[in-house]
Structure 1
Amino acid sequence: MPDPQLYVPRLNVMDPDDVRPFVAAVGTAQLVTVGEDGTPDATFLPVLWEGDRLVGHLARANAHWRRIVGGSPALAIVTGPDTYVSPSWYATKAEHGRVVPTWNYTVVHLRGAVTVHDDAEWVRGLVTRLTEHHEQPRDDPWAVTDAPADYVEKNLRPIVGVEVVVGSVEAKAKLSQNRSDEDRAGVAAGLVADGRDPDGLVAP
């Protein structure tokens, strides 16, 4: 049986230099694993991509982490903005009418072996790094050490860490690259008219 792959037409291959910044900007993923009984689990969680590791945490009350088999394959799905694209936005609609609706989106699939970290210090380090990542741009960034130590300890107990050793990366940006410059301009204008920022939803 062939390995599963993300369908990525040539025009939709994401620039490799853009993949890590994209994952960092989104900051979340859907972690998908399959337990010993063959039942799939999926959890939305905050993540950091550090070297060859994707790390995050789940609620201890979420039974997903207990069903993870250490070292088993996992899939982390990172999605960006997405939008319906109306064929009425295309300049070519007026020319020949041979246009249909579609959907624009960006997605990254990270696959690799997964490990659970039910370890307070590991989780504390992760939460500290996650906080620093998201607070760093602020004028007055909040730090984990700003909260009372006993309060931090209390709030670390209900979470469990998870780590995926990234073995493969597949990235797709379906942003109307197959359309003409005029059609892409029409999509951008249509998104603006609908109150949407076209940045990241249509190729420049």
Structure 2
Amino acid sequence: MYNSKPHQEHDLQRLQQQMRETRLAVLVTHGEQGLLASHIPVLIDTGEGEYGTVYGHLARANRQWQELQQGSEALLVFAGADAYVSPSFYPSKAATHKVVPTWNYLAVHAYGSAEVIEDSAALLDIVSRLTDRHEQGRDTPWQVSDAPSDYIEGMLRAIVGFRLPITRIQGARKLSQNRSAEDVAGVRNGLASSSDPQDNQLAAQMRPL
């Protein structure tokens, strides 16, 4: 992705945290079927490999898994909060009027070649871990074992899993770092006063004066 120097994020722990916090990633491949993209929940094992390893699954009817099987590089996009930045947020607007709208956002791009998983035990482990992750905190968490075993076996036959060790990673934290401290404060205050939760999330991450 294009990412100007002030907005580049290189802190691996922060990048991995952003990946964990993104509930739905976008898997992008390019092969014989052209460009394909799927929106899927994934697991991040930060202790496996230099940058971490991603686990997930696709419907067997989704032919994108065949592109993964070919071994070509895939891209996983983890999009975080984003917000429109109005020129009216900048104190410098009153002095120069040389301002235009922009967009602040958080994003991580992770690349690697995937290993396709069809073993039922390994697939069960992936879907169980995904379920446990998203059921945690509920009063009565649902577990995969709550469903009849023969039903789960049939569902597992309908999916294909993957394991993707990350070989390179890019991060963007576009939070008005290229503006003056006064303009940064203006953007932070403008987003903090918004009724949009994503605006508030970005405001909380902007540097103080």
Pairwise TM-score range, normalised by the shorter structure? 0.7 to 0.9
Quick one: which amino acid aligns to residue 25 of structure 2?
A
Question: Moved runs in structure 1, 4+ residues, more than 6 A?
Answer: none
Gaps of 5+ in 1: 1-5
Partner of 1:29: 25
Shift, 1:79, TM fit: 0.7
**Which letter maps to 2:22?**
V
Q: 2:91·2:183 contact (CA, 8 Å) conserved in 1?
A: yes
Contact kept in structure 2, 1:27 and 1:48, CA below 8 Å: no
* Number of residue pairs matched by the alignment: 198
TM-score, normalization: structure 1? Answer: 0.86
Aligned to 1:130: 130
Q: Which runs of 5+ in 2 are unaligned?
A: none
Query: 1:3 aligns to what?
Result: none
Bigger shift: residues 57-66 or 10-19: 10-19
List per-residue Cα deviations over 1:44-81 (Å, max 9, x = no partner): 11111112321111112212112334322111111111
Task: Looking at secondary structure, tell me which structure has more helix per residue.
Answer: 2
Question: For residue 86 of structure 2, what is the aligned residue in structure 1?
Answer: 86
State, as a whole percentage, how many aligned pairs show the same letter.
42
SS in 1 for 2:182: helix
Q: Which moved more, 1:177-186 or 1:95-104?
A: 177-186
For residue 7 of structure 1, the aligned residue among 2, 5, 22 is 2
**Residue of structure 2 equivalent to 1:45:** 40
- In structure 1, the residue matched to 2:183 is 183
1:38 Cα deviation (Å)? 6.6
3-state DSSP of counterpart to 2:114: strand
**TM-score under structure 2 normalisation?**
0.84
SS at match of 2:137: coil
CA distance in 2, matches of 1:183, 1:141: 45
* Cα distance in 2 between the residues matched to 1:38 and 1:45: 19
Change (3 A) 1:118 1:72: same
Report the secondary structure of 1:170's partner residue.
Answer: strand
**C-alpha separation between the residues in 1 aligned to 2:34 and 2:13?**
35
2: CA distance between counterparts of 1:140 and 1:30? Answer: 29
Amino acid paired to 1:23: M
Deviation of 1:194 after TM superposition, in Å, equals: 4.0
How many angstroms apart in 2 are the aligned matches of 1:68 and 1:17?
A: 27
